Amino acid sequence: IMRQPTGAQTVRRQQDEGPITIEQAGLNLAKSIVASPKFKVSFVLWAIGMFLCAFAAPPFQLTEEASARYEGLMDQAYSFEGYAELEEKLGAAQRRLDEVHVFFWRMRGEPYTTLVPQRRAAVDQIKDQIRALDKERDLLVKEAKATVGVWSQAAMDEARGSFWSAFEQGKLFAQRRAFWNTLFMLMQRREGGALSFVIEWVLTAVANFTLGLLGSLFYFSVAVLGLAWSYSPNMLSFLAFVGLALLAAGSMVATYLLATYGAVAGGLYGLGKVAQAAERQRLEQAHAERARIRRQQEGAGAGGGGYHHHHME
């Protein structure tokens, strides 16, 4: 039975045959990565995660009774009578408190020592009423979520919304860091060409983008735990839902990062080729210029020698 050569043996054999180009080295590395078992497992997991992101549907269909009960409880939770009025009263009471809550109000005496405690008590009373309604709302929402369960369309939609919200926050973080890094790079730059600045800026932007997306993935990993638990699942369903959600989120983040790395690598490779061609052209022009000058000098020397010989005769 003939054994297939390993990646190291292939590289060693090519080194014995002669120097290899960057393209050949990259192709050999890609072949060795694709042939590894870890890559195959990772690819399968990535494909499953992307399928979950794009086409996942709830495994169980809700009954009309459960769906109607869920909708009714959610409507009841977010339509408390008097909640908006309490928020308006809280805003007005807070403004009245701010009017008298000045620096060192205790040392200023009347009317501050009387008005501040009174108005603060009014604010606290309204806050207690709002907290009581919030607690009642949370109980209704929990009951509604327990009615449909963690494998419902509502849970999946909430998980998707949580992920994309975290994803957008990660991109905004990367954009802000890229802006400030660019500003500092422009302020601190003393030497170097435009090409080196562009490469440095691109690599910095990629690093910020990577940090932002990994941060969003971490934030979603924490958020999805509470999200799944709010649907009152059993432990097996909880672990399965969280695991699949993290697999889908990780696959999407990996797709964005790999696409970014591929685009940046292709762009830098193209810039390198352009710079290499420009340098080759410059060297050829310099060589041609030196050859032209040498020919002129040789022609001038030959002409001068002939003139001197003719003059001596």
Express each pLDDT in 258-308 by its tens digit: 999 988 888 877 777 777 787 788 888 888 888 888 888 877 766 555 545
User: 187 and 231 share a domain?
Assistant: yes
> What average pLDDT does the segment 102-119 reach?
90
**Residue of 255 and 291 predicted with greater confidence:** 255
Q: 132, 148, 164: which is the final residue of a domain?
A: 148
> What average pLDDT does the segment 54-80 reach?
88
Q: 98, 123, 148: which is the final residue of a domain?
A: 148
User: 215 and 251 share a domain?
Assistant: yes
**Residue of 15 and 249 predicted with greater confidence:** 249
Residue 272 falls inside a structural domain = yes
User: 92 and 41 share a domain?
Assistant: no
Residue 96 falls inside a structural domain = yes
Residue 2 falls inside a structural domain = no
User: 183 and 270 share a domain?
Assistant: yes
User: 106 and 188 share a domain?
Assistant: no
Residue 198 falls inside a structural domain = yes
Residue 38 binned pLDDT confidence (cut-offs 50, 70, 90): confident
CA 241 to chain centre: 23
User: 285 and 157 share a domain?
Assistant: yes
Residue 136 falls inside a structural domain = yes
HEC readout, the chain: CCCCCCHHHHHHHHHHHCCCCHHHHHHHHHHHHHHCHHHHHHHHHHHHHHHHHHHCCCCCCCCHHHHHHHHHHHHHHCCCCCHHHHHHHHHHHHHHHHHHCCCCCCCCCCCHHHHHHHHHHHHHHHHHHHHHHHHHHHHHHHHHHHHHCCCCHHHHHHHHHHHHHHHHHHHHHHHHHHHHHHHHHHHHCCCCCHHHHHHHHHHHHHHHHHHHHHHHHHHHHHHHHHHHHCCCCCHHHHHHHHHHHHHHHHHHHHHHHHHHHHHHHHHHHHHHHHHHHHHHHHHHHHHHHHHHHHHHHHHHHHHHHHHHHHHHC
With CA atoms as reference, report the closest residue to 49 among 253, 205, 210: 253
Q: Is the pLDDT of residue 2 over 50?
A: no
Residue 1 binned pLDDT confidence (cut-offs 50, 70, 90): very low
Q: Is the pLDDT of residue 21 over 70?
A: no
pLDDT of residue 191: 64
**Residue of 86 and 187 predicted with greater confidence:** 86
Residue 247 binned pLDDT confidence (cut-offs 50, 70, 90): very high
Residue 158 falls inside a structural domain = yes
pTM recorded for the entire structure: 0.72
User: 183 and 231 share a domain?
Assistant: yes
Q: Is the pLDDT of residue 28 over 90?
A: no
User: 128 and 50 share a domain?
Assistant: no
User: 159 and 132 share a domain?
Assistant: no
> What average pLDDT does the segment 47-76 reach?
89
Residue 190: both structure tokens together: 């003393």
Residue 1 falls inside a structural domain = no
- Average of per-residue pLDDT values in the chain: 84
Q: How many domains does the chain have?
A: 3
pLDDT of residue 265: 85
What pLDDT digit, counting tens, does each position of 130-140 carry?
A: 999 999 999 99
Residue 53 binned pLDDT confidence (cut-offs 50, 70, 90): confident
Residue type, 174: A
User: 164 and 223 share a domain?
Assistant: yes
The length of the chain in residues reads 313
**Residue of 192 and 72 predicted with greater confidence:** 72
Domain that holds residue 112: 62-148
Q: 106, 132, 148: which is the final residue of a domain?
A: 148
Q: Is the pLDDT of residue 156 over 70?
A: yes
Percent over 90 (pLDDT), the chain: 48
Residue 26 binned pLDDT confidence (cut-offs 50, 70, 90): low
Residues whose CB falls within 8 Å of the CB of residue 150, separated by 6 or more in sequence, listed in order: 228, 231, 232, 233, 237, 238, 241
pLDDT of residue 7: 52
**Residue of 25 and 50 predicted with greater confidence:** 50
Rg, C-alpha atoms of the chain: 36
Q: Is the pLDDT of residue 120 over 60?
A: yes
What pLDDT digit, counting tens, does each position of 223-232 carry?
A: 999 999 999 9
- CA dist., res. 90 & res. 71, Å (int): 29
User: 18 and 71 share a domain?
Assistant: no
Residue 6 binned pLDDT confidence (cut-offs 50, 70, 90): low
User: 68 and 50 share a domain?
Assistant: no
Residue 135 falls inside a structural domain = yes
